[in-house]
Structure 1
Amino acid sequence: MTRIIVIGPIKSEFILLGINQYLKWIGKYEKIKLIQIPLSGDLNKLSPYEYKEKDFTRISDYFSGSYNIVMDENGEALTSIEFSKFYEKAKSTSGKKFINFLIGGPLGHSKKIFNYCDKIISLSKFTFTHELSVLLILEQLFRANKILKNEKYHY
């Protein structure tokens, strides 16, 4: 099973509509679970290090038995076709129960997370909100499923 694990709530209505639409479309191919982890506190009361460490502790519960993919702007940039091949291989050969896509909170990821990841992927050199990152990875998962089934995917 594939899980998208994100630090922070998804509140923007237009993004929620898109997420729900992609989850519906992807449901034809596979089940995706979206896990939203609450923010770790007030950004004005914790140092960036403390904040990221709290986020890390909360997200690390999902590492065990999983193939962990950290979404990070400095990660590997893949085309949609490269991503679909990578995703298919990760699902079929990793031997893990879960494929996790890990999306950081407002301050990004703790450096510790990179010690537990199997792959680092970039959605872009741009920085996106956690909400938009979820929508973008869902779009690519939908596209990957279409590519892998030899279905048209350019709309």
Structure 2
Amino acid sequence: MIRRATIVAVGRLRGWAAEGCEDYLRRLRRYFPVEVIEVAEADMNRLGRGEALREEAGRLLRRLPADAHVVALDRKTGRRYGSEELARRRLEPLAVSGRGHVAFVIGGPLGLAPEVLERADERWSFGEITLPHALARVVLLEQLYRAVKILRGERYHW
């Protein structure tokens, strides 16, 4: 299992998404430290799409931990995994390889700039559907928690 996780995401969560994330963060932190870093969303009323993506990319890249294995969440270019495969074929080997610190990057409404995708060691996707970035963060945390339970042989549902 990974030893530490950092989530670097565009935007600040509120309401149901913040509550869902806090719930899974509480659960995950029993097993390993998880840090959430939120960077400001670009002002899309002031900037064009390309400029906004570049601005967010700079903020995201500056906050990525240098020692982390970086996973970008990207619907278009990311690889899809089932929960078991994610746990056993992605997260477990990272810990064994000495890359136990994993940083996950989640873009805002515009997605991620090419320079962020290029910086990533790998890209994951939660499928073809477009998820709001707030929901993607909740899904990521839930899948990390599910992976912990799978790898520890613990029941997820009671």
Check the 8 A contact 1:63/1:116 in 2, yes or no.
Answer: no
Aligned partner of 2:9 among 6, 9, 25: 6
Q: Which residue of 1 aligns with 2:30?
A: 28
1:148 aligns with 2:151: yes
Tell me the distance in 1 between the aligned counterparts of 2:108 and 2:84.
28
Corresponding letter in the other structure for 1:31: P
Tell me the distance in 1 between the aligned counterparts of 2:99 and 2:45.
38
Q: Which residue of 1 aligns with 2:92?
A: 88
Per-residue CA deviations over 1:62-98 (Å, capped at 9, x if unaligned) read 15222110001121110001111211212331x4473
Tell me the distance in 1 between the aligned counterparts of 2:129 and 2:157.
23
SS of equivalent to 1:46: coil
Query: What is the TM-score when the length of structure 1 is the normalising length?
Result: 0.91
Superposed, 1:1-155 pairs within 5 Å as 1-11=4-14, 13-40=15-42, 42-61=43-62, 62=64, 64-74=66-76, 75-85=78-88, 86-93=90-97, 95-96=98-99, 98-154=101-157
Tell me the distance in 1 between the aligned counterparts of 2:91 and 2:99.
13
Aligned-residue identity in percent: 28
SS of equivalent to 1:108: coil
Query: What is the TM-score when the length of structure 2 is the normalising length?
Result: 0.90
- Consecutive unaligned residues of structure 1, counting only runs of 5 or more, are none
Question: Offset of 1:18 from its aligned partner?
Answer: 1.1
Check the 8 A contact 2:94/2:100 in 1, yes or no.
Answer: no
Tell me the distance in 2 between the aligned counterparts of 1:16 and 1:114.
25
Farther-moved stretch of structure 1 (63-72 vs 77-86): 63-72
- Consecutive unaligned residues of structure 2, counting only runs of 5 or more, are none
